[in-house]
Structure 1
Amino acid sequence: MDTNKQSLRPRRAFLKRAGTLLAASSIGFPAIISARNAKPTVRVLGTHVTLQEPIRQRAEKELGINLEYSPGGSAQVLFKASMDPSGFDVYEQWSNSMRVLWQSRAIQPLDPRRIDRWAEINPLSKTGRLFPENSIGAGDAPHLLLYIQADGSLGSQPTQEISYLPYVHNADSLGYNPQRVPEGQPYETESWGWLLDPKHRGRVAIVNAPSIGLFDLALAAQARGLMGFNDIGNMSREEVNQLFDILMRFKADGHFRGFWNSVPHSAKLMSRGEVDVQSMFSPGVSMVRASGTPCLYAAPKEGYRAWHGVMCLSRETRGEQEDAAYQYMNWWLSGWPGAFISRQGYYISNPARSKDLMSDGEWDYWYEGKAATSELLGPEGKATVQVGEQRRGGSYAQRFSNIAVWNTVMPAFDLTVQRWNEFVIA
């Protein structure tokens, strides 16, 4: 497909949006013969969630290529990728970045025939649900952005080209310190509303990303009965303004301790005792628990805010770098990476491939929702799960049967970013 036929107008519009967003916040690689006889280098741009040094080292060893990781905050890396496709080969982030990346023409189509284990990828990635009886949830479920349609748009109708490789994913919620916030019951009393509960004034932090933190706060406002939404995954401009008017009053009252830009930042806020409840990603919870500070990852009665990891190829990547990039993407579905990220509470899109590389206890805890029969270690080798503990929210299937909304870039994105900027700096 000739992506150059796409209109320049949406490209300019989305580059402008990306700029505003920044303000807010085991198959070896075949031998390559060249004059220098050098290994190909793949430059990977993404967040701290997946760009971890043990992963880079393992991939380099197994693939025989060089990998350069450039992790950053979500808004930062999205802006960089949108503005400078020549600065990366592979982009790793979340599906809510796809509209920006595609309409700014920063990425090129992927050929699923070059994804060795494409057939193993489960229905969640391809249809938005694990089982037909599950609700998909509001917003941009992953399949809605996966396939490149005949008119050049992104959609759910399967075609011969895809916009990204679906890989890691999770259902996010809020983390809290049970020594400061009374422990709730999963799916019964734990609630997004805790983020806007006056009892926690001055001890609340939010992820600094308008296409993520916005939904945490919208779910909180709705749970507290402060307002409602016709479609929380596609808010009207009036609803966006009403929500931020409410949030600005909370901000003026000193309700928020701050806004975090990375997973390590969120972990420090809680492990240092600066916050009691906050937006959190699963690796942050693991970091806090590994530090010795108690932290529970809520299973909100309103449902989770879900996301799906995307791995994209820069429009500028060609030749041996492109071949190496495909090998790197295929490696992510080879088993070991999925087992590794499961220990920080994440899932992989072809989980059966990782099962044999996890202990029975690990699989039962992380995927089946069973009580731990032994102490379980996190990615850093420190204990994060104690004997008898059960994963909050239950099994993989149960968690993804309770999705309220997916991370989404809505049509009202410009207004959302404008109001988010005002909210953060007020």
Structure 2
Amino acid sequence: MDNWDKINALPKTGRLTPHAPLGAGSNPVDRLYIQPDGSCGSRPSGHITMLPVSHNVDSFGYRLDMLPDGLSRDQESWAWLLDKRWRGMVSLQNDSAIGAIDAALAAKAAGLVDFKDLGNLSVAEIDNLIDCLIALKRQQHFRAFWSNQDQASSDMVRGRVGIESLWSPAMTDLKKRHIKVRMASPMEGYRAWYGGMSISRHAKGRTLDAAYDYLNWWISGWPGAVMARQGYYISTPELTRPHLSPAEWDYWYAGKPAAENLADPSGASGLIHRGEIRDGGDYLTRMSRIAVWNTVMDEHNYLVRRWNDFMSA
């Protein structure tokens, strides 16, 4: 890999700063390096499982004009997703692997259910979580469960939903529609994810060379700029910086007010208006407040079955 040394510390050490929390769940460093016995681990070796590429932190979004009395944007918490003041206005992502983590963060923050390890729930903890969610569903607490980002955006635009699990592309769409939505910075921390690319063991010759060229292109700078305009981060931010305008870098990475109106990934202007500040602050701050990483738990199959019970209740 041409720019391996330009990949920052997050995937290589599990955090950007020495004192940042590692977070529960599947921290990328724990699965980055191939160990001598063929397992994945954090000890550096000459082989990696994937090339670290894009990453971000997710939380929930809410319409500012629907914020209930008594709740303040200065005290954002995952508990809001289960707060009775939002009853009938809540939507969760319907996939068990991600939706359940958001729900667990909310239940723990609300003091409804406790967990030993948010990234790896036991059978008993899964039962406690799902039973709690089913009880809330029967009280008409949840308005919807979204399966794609178009649905998430549409429900909020129509006013069916006031608060929901939300990802960056849906947030971008809501901004285009002039809906005043804030992406929360929960006091408990974010749910984080890290995506990468691997090469098939069967690739050989020119195919293998082309695969390496493609991976090298992804971390060469320009692709990271396109990802930044969607709200995503790249593993080689310093190579990306020259491909962003100073105003774009300041907004997306530095946490500063936009010095001018900024374009969306397609080049259309006006996605970000002059003076806006990215919710959550700068790159270092956001990626140093991770409560849990996306993960596949040991009891994933059981979680899926119980999550389906919740969906059908």
Q: State which of 107, 118, 124 in structure 2 corresponds to 1:238.
A: 124
Which secondary structure state, in structure 2, belongs to the residue aligned with residue 292 of structure 1?
coil
Which secondary structure state, in structure 2, belongs to the residue aligned with residue 216 of structure 1?
helix
Partners of 1:289 and 1:237 in 2: CA distance: 40
What is the identity, as a one-letter code, of the residue corresponding to 1:410?
M
Partners of 1:413 and 1:258 in 2: CA distance: 23
Q: How far did 1:406 drift?
A: 0.6
Partners of 2:196 and 2:94 in 1: CA distance: 20
Q: How far did 1:117 drift?
A: 0.8
What is the identity, as a one-letter code, of the residue corresponding to 2:216?
N
> How many residues of Structure 1 are paired with residues of Structure 2 in the alignment?
311
What is the identity, as a one-letter code, of the residue corresponding to 2:47?
E
Query: Which is further off, 142-151 or 372-381?
Result: 372-381
Aligned-residue Cα RMSD (Å) equals 1.7
Verify the 8 A CA contact 1:120 1:350 in the aligned structure 2: yes
Q: State which of 207, 215, 219 in structure 1 corresponds to 2:105.
A: 219
* Partner residue, 2:137: 251
Q: State which of 31, 42, 50 in structure 2 corresponds to 1:145.
A: 31
* Partner residue, 1:411: 298
TM-score, normalised to structure 2, is: 0.94
**Pair 1:293–1:418, CA change in 2 (3 A):** same
Which secondary structure state, in structure 1, belongs to the residue aligned with residue 271 of structure 2?
strand
* Partner residue, 2:280: 393
What 5-or-longer segments of structure 2 have no aligned partner?
A: none
What 5-or-longer segments of structure 1 have no aligned partner?
A: 1-114
Verify the 8 A CA contact 1:140 1:233 in the aligned structure 2: yes
Q: State which of 133, 137, 155 in structure 1 corresponds to 2:41.
A: 155
Q: How far did 1:319 drift?
A: 4.0
Query: Which is further off, 177-186 or 240-249?
Result: 177-186
**Pair 1:394–1:185, CA change in 2 (3 A):** farther
Q: Specify which structure has the bigger relative contact order, considering alpha-carbon pairs within 8 angstroms and separated by 6 or more residues.
A: 2
Query: Which is further off, 301-310 or 370-379?
Result: 370-379
Partners of 1:331 and 1:202 in 2: CA distance: 46
Q: How far did 1:221 drift?
A: 0.6
What is the identity, as a one-letter code, of the residue corresponding to 2:120?
N
* Partner residue, 1:329: 215
**Amino-acid identity (%):** 47
What is the identity, as a one-letter code, of the residue corresponding to 2:6?
E
Q: How far did 1:320 drift?
A: 3.3
Verify the 8 A CA contact 2:61 2:183 in the aligned structure 1: yes
**Pair 1:202–1:306, CA change in 2 (3 A):** same
1:120 aligns with 2:6: yes
Partners of 1:318 and 1:425 in 2: CA distance: 47
Verify the 8 A CA contact 2:60 2:164 in the aligned structure 1: yes
